[in-house]
């Protein structure tokens, strides 16, 4: 059922980009963007908060991801908001429901006053977190689930090494691994040791003063979850993985996403490393996170139980979105960068 038309404006403010480049150069605040009604299986949200992820800025670069997105485009795949209108065949939510979700990258995102989403990308928001806190969890939590649970088959007493424990995915991965009863080792700089231990890390390796392979060479691990990337990271990890173990990365050898040559190079490398696993080497898995309704629901349950909590690096207003991107791209974030919109709910 649609909402009352006088409650939904015909135009809104939204941050959008059309050209390739860095966010501070190409992202523009537009004040007369049409508020589109939801399609059949979609809902329209009044956005309360969103958070920034690397994919939001990488999509603006001249790469293969960029070519898949219709422009002008609004970033922000993480969203928390209230349903204000539902499509003719959407039945999962009703008007007034507060929801959170991980939107499809091709859709316009949450860095706008309103956004539409397929209803399968959303679940009802748990009540134990604020909108600001909740906005920092959708993508990173689902990605951690897909790496550790879906692909890593994590279980009780596994020794898990998380590379990059103080970042967005890393902070959630520590908590998720501990929830499943793993012994968690993580890397970070010394200044972030207190943070990652507070999240449940059993052992912390300061990568600025120690080589992880030297530290763990006599105590091998079952699973490496790489949130950092780089050729040397993979080479080092293979020295401390059990032969039956897995190296799972969300970054790969190259931090910058390229074009079709980049895709071919990474695909060839992945197939080659995968082939080595058939002759006694650890399994190699590279993947990119994606929205999944069932996994988001599992995450929602863990959040409601208090098993997953956000780590908020900083909070910016909607008008400060460019400053938020600068912070997110600085490489110094501990957890997530949040952008607040409507705070009246």
CATH number of the domain located at residue range(s) 11-137+310-340 in this protein: 3.90.180.10
Question: Under a CB-based contact definition with an 8 Å cutoff, are residues 113 and 341 in contact?
Answer: yes
Among 88, 106, 182, residue whose Cα is nearest residue 144: 182
- Express each pLDDT in 144-173 by its tens digit: 999 999 999 999 999 999 999 999 999 999
pLDDT attached to residue 252: 77
pLDDT in tens, 313-341: 999 999 999 999 999 999 889 999 999 99
pTM, full prediction? 0.92
Instruction: Find the mean pLDDT for residues 181-198.
Output: 98
Is a pLDDT exceeding 60 seen at residue 262?
no
Query: Of 274, 153, 280, 289, which Cα lies nearest the Cα of 223?
Result: 153
Local confidence band at 1 (pLDDT 50, 70, 90 cut-offs):
very low
- Low-confidence winner among 85-94, 133-142, 170-179, 336-345 (lowest mean pLDDT): 336-345
More confident site: 4 or 62 = 62
Q: What is the three-class DSSP state of 209? A: coil
Q: How large a percentage of the chain has pLDDT more than 70?
A: 88
Quick check: 202 pLDDT over 90?
yes
CATH 3.40.50.970 fits 152-286, yes or no: no
- Helix, strand, coil: what percent of the chain each, to 5? 35, 25, 40
More confident residue, 65 or 327: 327
Distance of CA 140 to the CA centre of its chain: 3
Domains 11-137+310-340 and 152-286 share a fold: no
Instruction: Give the long-range contacts of residues 209-212, CB within 8 A, separation 24 or more.
Output: 211/236, 212/161, 212/163, 212/187, 212/236, 212/237, 212/240
Confidence of residue 345 (pLDDT cuts 50, 70, 90): very low
d(CA 204, CA 192): 10
Considering only the C-alpha atoms of the chain, give the largest distance between any 2 of them, rounded to a whole number of Å: 67
**Spatial contact of 334 and 166, defined as CB atoms under 8 Å apart:** yes
Query: Are β-strands 122-124 and 159-163 bridged in parallel, bridged antiparallel, or unpaired?
Result: unpaired
Of the chain, the percentage scoring pLDDT greater than 90 comes to 78
Max mean pLDDT range (64-73, 177-186, 245-254): 177-186
pLDDT tens, position by position, 13-27:
999 999 999 999 999
CB 82 within 8 A of CB 96: yes
Over the chain, what is the mean pLDDT? 91
CB neighbours of residue 133 within 10 Å: 20
30 three-state secondary structure: strand
Domain range annotation of the chain: 11-137+310-340, 152-286
């Amino acid at each position: 059922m649609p909402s009352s038309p006088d409650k939904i404006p015909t135009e809104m403010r939204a941050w959008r980009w059309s050209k390739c480049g860095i966010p501070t150069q190409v992202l523009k605040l537009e004040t007369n963007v049409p508020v589109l009604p939801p399609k059949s299986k979609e809902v329209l949200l009044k956005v309360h908060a969103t958070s920034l992820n690397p994919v939001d800025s990488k999509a603006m670069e001249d790469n293969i991801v960029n070519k898949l997105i219709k422009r002008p485009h609004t970033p922000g795949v993480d969203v928390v908001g209230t349903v204000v209108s539902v499509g003719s065949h959407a039945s999962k939510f009703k008007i007034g429901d507060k929801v959170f979700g991980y939107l499809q990258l091709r859709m316009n995102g949450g860095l706008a006053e309103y956004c539409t989403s397929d209803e399968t990308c959303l679940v009802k928001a748990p009540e134990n977190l604020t909108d600001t806190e909740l906005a920092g969890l959708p993508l990173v939590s689902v990605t951690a689930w897909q790496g550790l649970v879906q692909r890593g088959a994590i279980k009780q007493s596994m020794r898990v090494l998380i590379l990059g424990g103080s970042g967005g995915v890393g902070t959630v991965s520590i908590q998720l691994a501990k929830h499943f009863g793993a012994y968690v080792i993580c890397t970070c700089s010394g200044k972030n040791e207190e943070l990652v231990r507070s999240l449940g890390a059993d052992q912390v390796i300061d990568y600025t003063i120690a080589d992880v392979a030297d530290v763990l060479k006599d105590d091998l691990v079952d699973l490496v979850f790489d949130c950092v990337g780089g050729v040397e990271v993979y080479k080092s990890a293979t020295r401390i993985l059990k032969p039956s173990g897995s190296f799972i990365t969300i970054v790969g050898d190259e931090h910058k996403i390229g074009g079709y040559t980049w895709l071919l190079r990474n695909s060839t490398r992945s197939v080659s490393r995968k082939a080595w696993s058939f002759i006694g080497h650890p399994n190699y898995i590279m993947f990119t996170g994606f929205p999944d309704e069932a996994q988001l629901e599992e995450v929602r349950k863990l959040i409601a139980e208090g098993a997953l909590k956000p780590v908020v690096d900083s909070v910016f207003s909607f008008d400060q979105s460019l400053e938020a991107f600068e912070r997110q791209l600085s490489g110094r974030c501990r957890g997530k960068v949040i952008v607040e919109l409507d705070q009246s709910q």
